Amino acid sequence: MRIRFIYPDPNPRVGLSGRKVESAALQLLAAITPSTHDVSIVQEHLGDAVRFDDANVDLVGITAMTIQARRAYEIADGYRSAGKTVVLGGIHPSVQPNEALQHADAVVVGEAEPVWSQVLADATTGHLRGLYRGKEYADLSQLPPYRRDLFPKRSSFSLGSVQAARGCPYDCSFCSATLFTGRKYRFRPVENVIAEIKAMGRRFIFFLDDNIFASEPYCRALFSELKKLDVIWVGQASLHLTAGNPDLLELAAKSGCFSLFVGIESLNESNLRATGSLAKNKVSTPEEIGRSIRVLHDHDIIVMAGVIFGFDDDDPDVFDRTREFLFDNRVGHGSFSALTPFPGTKLFEALHAQSRITTYDWSKYDGATAVFVPKLITAEQLQEGTRRMGVNFYSTPKILRRLWTNRHHPFIYLATSFAWRHSCRVENHVPFFTPSGYWKESGRKSTVPELEGSADQRLLASAGRGAEQRNPDSDKPGTSEASAPCQERQSFIHASEDSNAEEEALSDVRGRVLERSTRVTATGTLMDLSTERRSTPQRTAPSQRPR
Ligand code: B12
Ligand code: SF4
């Protein structure tokens, strides 16, 4: 078969982060596709065009995070209208499989490795079975080298992405990672990671791992090998594993680590406790967080602080407090997001149960748009405060004032800061993201006609229809997968995992699933849920309430 893998361009607002990084998922999918098939990759966010009239395609495989879902479905529908077979996969189709099945011949739930050969075999004989879900997680020691040969190196500054491990033992309420990759770390053999980096021939490396410092023995071995290569790398890490281990941090710096993304999330301890994020960083007060950041600075590592606004204890002053903290601590880079209840997360369940989610139009789940009603601030304050945070943080005087602390990589620091600055200002020009704004901004014409009704109604309706048409169990009472706006969290946590943490997670999600099934059966269909949501009056921030 002639197979084309596609990375949809979600929208231009995501700017720097979404636009430069190549898709590791598609490179890996191409690598695990037997060589009897002819494979190509289209990365829309890097400028490749999607062409539905291309006769040289038999099967299209599309990846999607939630923010990409709308565009992914458009592409899928376009290819299916042209008579091609379409398979959807990635985090969003995995948590919303029945919704995704409305636009595809098959949906892969979870990791592709365990099921991909079966999908291809069934597609070849014309007998695709709808949903494919592996019985266990992928064995990372068997991962083949990614197919980087399928697209040209775009620029000497572009990042080469590599994955050393999957999984995360924590379960922060807003995060999709754990339910997707499991609560147990799985590592690739160090020699395979190093061989891949060497073969890549790139100087700038991006470790995709949720926590590159996850295991001390593993990262010691990895960093010692990396030290022998002339590479510069960035990764994600938790504060206690880095700051609490200066010796390891020194090795990381010597191996080429120039920047670490650290999910600080919030400076408010009660938010950290409520979301479970305290477990990963183990520091809670601004003073402790500041001290940890200084340890990273002492090792010449630029800190990129990940901060989320809109938690239940965030009041209108949260933006000023955070701005001062980041400035006082000369934090080099910042990534600011409005809290987003991604489908499948505990946060989604909680906010949905409280009728606080204001839209199920996934294209608005971009981390910049307020898609729920916050508690102590208004949705407008959340959206505007988050936007202004980025613009203010990346103002030219501020970038220059923190140069001294981040002087060890002056060129990279300045180049990335100004790129982020540009990215924040691009967002500034698109105050409210709408699908039509998207097409206008990107200069691209929509390839499928606009559907009737709001995006909310369409998504809700299609999810319900999908269940009826494709899920043989959909008419059974209490089948929550058929009618809930979000599929169950446990749907692809593999029961075969034997770690205690995984068992605890499973019983935890099972409990909640039971609760959800009852709730969904009681309320009936998705449309009922949306009516329930819409009839809930908008909450007002306490400061605006009449006293
Ligand atoms: C790298 C990464 C990025 C990169 C993306 C690079 C790229 N172009 O691919 C950057 C930094 C740009 C990024 C940005 C964002 N990200 Co991000 N990112 C990740 C991260 C850390 C790793 C993803 C990865 O590449 N893994 C390695 C590959 C091999 O694994 P994989 O993608 O899971 O693919 C496997 C399966 O999913 C499946 N599969 C995937 N696609 C397909 C397709 C088919 C056809 C099939 C059959 C199977 C299949 O098979 C693959 C092999 O097993 C994940 C965290 C995580 N643990 O997953 C978050 C994550 C995916 N990101 C997330 C988010 C929210 C974002 C942002 C929206 C944040 C923001 N507000 O800006 C932006 C959106 C950017 C955009 N697209 O425009 C969320 C997604 C949640 C959701 N429900 O959508 C995640 C899960 C993080 C989290 N903690 O919740 N991200
Ligand atoms: S520690 Fe990071 S990757 Fe793990 S659950 Fe929390 S936010 Fe997600």
What CATH number does residue 242 fall under? 3.80.30.20
What pLDDT shows up at residue 440?
Answer: 34
Ligand with minimal distance to 160 CA: 1
87 ligand 1 Cβ < 6 A: yes
Say if residue 236 is in the same domain as residue 288. yes
192 ligand 1 Cβ < 6 A: no
Ligand with minimal distance to 276 CA: 2
- Centroid of ligand 2 to alpha carbon of 501 (angstroms): 14
What distance in Å separates the CA atoms of residue 169 and residue 279, rounded to the nearest whole number? 10
In a domain, 531, yes or no: no
Say if residue 65 is in the same domain as residue 179. no
What pLDDT shows up at residue 458?
Answer: 39
What pLDDT shows up at residue 63?
Answer: 98
Ligand with minimal distance to 281 CA: 2
Helix axes 246-254, 216-226, angle to 10 degrees: 30
Mutation test residue for ligand 1: of 22, 65, 84, 366, the one with most atoms within 8 Å of CB: 65
In a domain, 171, yes or no: yes
Say if residue 176 is in the same domain as residue 36. no
Mutation test residue for ligand 1: of 91, 180, 186, the one with most atoms within 8 Å of CB: 91
What pLDDT shows up at residue 92?
Answer: 96
What pLDDT shows up at residue 429?
Answer: 37
10 ligand 1 Cβ < 6 A: yes
What distance in Å separates the CA atoms of residue 115 and residue 94, rounded to the nearest whole number? 13
DSSP assignment of 289-340: HHHHHHHHHHTT-EEEEEEEE--TT--TTHHHHHHHHHHHTT-SEEEEEE--
What distance in Å separates the CA atoms of residue 455 and residue 364, rounded to the nearest whole number? 10
304 ligand 1 Cβ < 6 A: no
In a domain, 191, yes or no: yes
Mutation test residue for ligand 2: of 163, 210, 240, 282, the one with most atoms within 8 Å of CB: 210
In a domain, 508, yes or no: no
Total of domains in the chain: 2
Ligand with minimal distance to 114 CA: 1
86 ligand 1 Cβ < 6 A: no
Domain of 316 in residue numbering reads as 145-344+382-411
Residue closest via CA to ligand 2's atom 6 equals: 172
C-alpha of 352 from chain center: 20
pLDDT tens-digit readout, 10-57: 765 554 445 568 899 999 999 999 999 999 999 988 888 899 988 899
DSSP assignment of 396-465: HHHHHHTTTTTTTSHHHHHHHHHHHHHHHHHHHH-SS--HHHHHHHHT---SSPPPSS-HHHHHHHHHHH
Residue closest via CA to ligand 1's atom 44 equals: 89
For residue 111 the two structure tokens come to 């990791």
Tell me if residue 201 falls in helix, strand or coil: coil
Instruction: For residue 357, list its beta bridge partners.
Output: 372
User: Which ranges of the chain have pLDDT less than 50?
Assistant: 15-17, 428-493, 495-499, 501-503, 505-547
Ligand with minimal distance to 237 CA: 2
- Centroid of ligand 1 to alpha carbon of 178 (angstroms): 12
Q: What is the pTM of this model?
A: 0.83
What distance in Å separates the CA atoms of residue 204 and residue 197, rounded to the nearest whole number? 10
Give, in order, the Cα–Cα distances in Å from 38 to each of 5, 46, 118, 373, 472: 11, 22, 17, 48, 33
What pLDDT shows up at residue 153?
Answer: 61
In a domain, 541, yes or no: no
Say if residue 13 is in the same domain as residue 156. no
What pLDDT shows up at residue 346?
Answer: 93
In SS3 terms, 280-303 reads as HHCCCCHHHHHHHHHHHHHCCCEE
- Centroid of ligand 1 to alpha carbon of 44 (angstroms): 15
Give, in order, the Cα–Cα distances in Å from 405 to each of 293, 326, 346: 11, 12, 38
- Centroid of ligand 2 to alpha carbon of 169 (angstroms): 8
| 99 neighbors 464 (Cβ within 8 angstroms) | no
In SS3 terms, 446-489 reads as CCCCCCCCCHHHHHHHHHHHHHHHHCCCCCCCCCHHHHCCCCCH
In a domain, 118, yes or no: yes
Question: Which atom of ligand 2 lies at the shortest distance from residue 265's CA?
Answer: 7
- Final residue in a domain of this structure, among 112, 133, 154: 133
The torsion of the CA quartet 222, 223, 229, 233, rounded to 10 degrees, works out to 110
Instruction: For residue 107, list its beta bridge partners.
Output: 88, 131
Closest CA to 285 of 261, 309, 301, 264: 264
Say if residue 113 is in the same domain as residue 7. yes
307 ligand 1 Cβ < 6 A: no
In a domain, 495, yes or no: no
Residues whose beta carbon lies within 6 Å of some atom of ligand 2: 168, 170-172, 175, 177-178, 210, 263, 280
Say if residue 222 is in the same domain as residue 129. no
Say if residue 113 is in the same domain as residue 157. no
In a domain, 176, yes or no: yes
What distance in Å separates the CA atoms of residue 102 and residue 147, rounded to the nearest whole number? 30
Tell me if residue 258 falls in helix, strand or coil: strand
- Final residue in a domain of this structure, among 103, 133, 163: 133
Say if residue 157 is in the same domain as residue 115. no
What distance in Å separates the CA atoms of residue 187 and residue 1, rounded to the nearest whole number? 32
134 ligand 1 Cβ < 6 A: no
Tell me if residue 108 falls in helix, strand or coil: strand
Say if residue 394 is in the same domain as residue 307. yes
What distance in Å separates the CA atoms of residue 258 and residue 242, rounded to the nearest whole number? 13
- Final residue in a domain of this structure, among 356, 390, 411: 411
367 ligand 1 Cβ < 6 A: yes
What pLDDT shows up at residue 30?
Answer: 96
For residue 291 the two structure tokens come to 């001290």
Question: Which atom of ligand 1 lies at the shortest distance from residue 115's CA?
Answer: 47
For residue 436 the two structure tokens come to 């039509």
Say if residue 10 is in the same domain as residue 87. yes
- Across the beta sheet with 160-162, the strand order is 160-162, 204-207, 232-237, 257-265, 302-309, 333-338
What pLDDT shows up at residue 481?
Answer: 33
- Centroid of ligand 2 to alpha carbon of 124 (angstroms): 38
Ligand with minimal distance to 424 CA: 1
Helix axes 379-393, 410-429, angle to 10 degrees: 140
Say if residue 107 is in the same domain as residue 153. no
Question: Which atom of ligand 2 lies at the shortest distance from residue 276's CA?
Answer: 6
Residue closest via CA to ligand 1's atom 67 equals: 366
Q: What is the CATH number of the domain that holds 120?
A: 3.40.50.280
Say if residue 158 is in the same domain as residue 23. no
